[in-house]
Amino acid sequence: MKKVILASKSPRRLEIMRAHGINPIVMPSNAEEHLPDGIGMEDAVKMLAEQKARATYEAIKSDPSFAQNPDYRDAVIVGSDTIVYKDEILGKPRDYDDAFRMLAALRGTDHNVATGVALIDVNTGKISVLSDVTTVYCKDYSDEQIREYIENGQPYDKAGSYAIQGPFREYIDHYDGDYENVVGLPFYRIESMLK
């Protein structure tokens, strides 16, 4: 398997890679995330994943030690982005009220979690971009349960204000699709590409 450069500072993506026997070089992207108005869910995550992977690729290629650095030789960059979609893209909440609004919208119904992945071969510059979607079904929970969850500081760095692998899992009824996609990286979609 090729060496992997993970263009993300997400501990969840790193954990998924390590669970599959890959210990990537972590080089978080400093890409500015921009989306055009009205973009669809899957197009959005693919675009953001590509922006992140390309920013890391450009940083590597501009590194004066690029040609001599063995970390870069035969490596592939993996950029990824995950969003929650329920009638709109639900990103990371801005504040308490935003988190409450998102979590209230998700209760007792289903929503989609889309992850985009962009892979760039460092040697050739060849890029592959894909996406995966999982449908998540939430239980009906109360306003008080939402407040308690928010007050414990859980939602602030998470798309849609929750993480399926965290305390919010008690409010998940079931899901259709890949669990790791909801966590942040659909590894089964990229495993053969990495090989």
pTM score: 0.91
- For position 193, what pLDDT does the model report? 84
- For position 108, what pLDDT does the model report? 97
For the chain, the structural domain boundaries read: 3-194
Task: Please return the burial class of 95, using the count of CB atoms within 10 Å of its CB with bins 0-12, 13-18 and 19+.
Answer: exposed
Domain spanning 3-194, CATH class: alpha beta
- For position 1, what pLDDT does the model report? 67
Share of the chain above pLDDT 90, in %: 77
Residues annotated as catalytic (active site), given as ranges: 81
C-alpha dihedral over 81, 94, 98, 10, to 10 degrees? 30
d(C-alpha 81, C-alpha 104), whole Å: 23
Q: What one-character-per-residue DSSP string does 129-184 give? A: EEEEEEEEEEPP--HHHHHHHHHTT-STTSGGG--TTSGGGGGEEEEES-HHHHHT
pLDDT bin (cut points 50, 70, 90) of residue 7 is very high
pLDDT digits (tens, 9 = 90+) for 115-171: 999 999 999 999 999 999 999 999 999 999 999 999 998 899 899 999 999 999 999
- What is the pLDDT averaged over residues 88-97? 93
Six token digits for residue 23 = 């210990």
